Amino acid sequence: MGSFSLWHWLIVLLIVVLIFGTKKLKNIGGDVGGAVNEFKKAMNEGKVEDVAEKTGTTIEGEVTNKTKQ
């Protein structure tokens, strides 16, 4: 009695699909997925900048082509 059975979840899913429709649920899923991806990118960018500022490392390289912009 403490948790829902499989039949309860199927009925809830059916009601949600009837209310919102499959197309709207697909759009909502895509929007949420895009937001999660943007959040992950922002978190990773912050980590790269923080590490470079804390360590004070210099990236060494060689210039092979030089063009004016």
**Domain ranges (residues) in the chain:** 21-53
> Tens digit of pLDDT for each residue in 41-59?
888 876 655 555 566 667 7
Phi/psi region, residue 59 (left: phi>0; alpha: psi -120 to 50; beta: rest), is beta
> Is the pTM for the entire model greater than 0.85?
no
What pLDDT, on the 0 to 100 scale, is given for residue 11? 92
Residues of the chain above pLDDT 70, percent? 77
The residue assigned the tokens 């949600």 is: 16
Question: Which amino acid, residue 40?
Answer: K
> Rounded to an integer, what distance in angstroms lies between the CA atom of residue 6 and that of residue 13?
11
What value does the CA radius of gyration of the chain take, rounded to a whole number of Å? Answer: 24
Q: How far apart are CA 13 and CA 28, in angstroms?
A: 15
